[in-house]
Structure 1
Amino acid sequence: MSRSTPEESMSPDDYCTPDALLHTAPSRDVTPEDMVMATGRDVTPKNLDWARRKMETEGAAAIEKLLP
């Protein structure tokens, strides 16, 4: 006779996802690379310059304008 452990008897719906995995936020300030990637562009010197200028004029809130 085999015994099941509590983990084996739980269905996948019984598991809780830790809160830290459900919510994401930058652990640091937004960088020009983040800005470029958020727009779906390639990280190139030209796009990094664009992102730096945009962040200088609009601050970190510039990336918020890109989010739905």
Structure 2
Amino acid sequence: MTSRPEASRPSEDRHTPDAVLHARTGTDVSPEDLVLAAGRDITPRNLEWARRKLAAEGPAALDKLLP
């Protein structure tokens, strides 16, 4: 009989419920938050991009970038 260590491990096909994945805590989203969530450096150009995106989409802009 061969040993199957993977049989004793928890199943890896379990998924985290969507309700647990929300990133926002109910606080305001700043342009800096949006820039960092997009994986960009905080530069004047990127901050302006984030300001425009927040003006157009509101806090949902952050939700669209994060899982």
- 5+ residue gaps, structure 2, are 1-22
Identity among equivalent pairs (%): 60
What is the RMSD computed on CA atoms of the aligned residues?
1.9
TM-score by length of structure 1 reads 0.59
How many pairs align? 46
What is the distance in 2 between the residues matched to 1:61 and 1:25? 10
TM-score, with length taken from structure 2? 0.60
**Any stretches of 5+ residues in structure 1 without a counterpart?**
1-23
Indicate the structure whose relative CO is greater, using CA pairs within 8 Å and at least 6 residues apart.
Answer: 2
SS at match of 1:51: helix
Matched residue, 1:34: 33
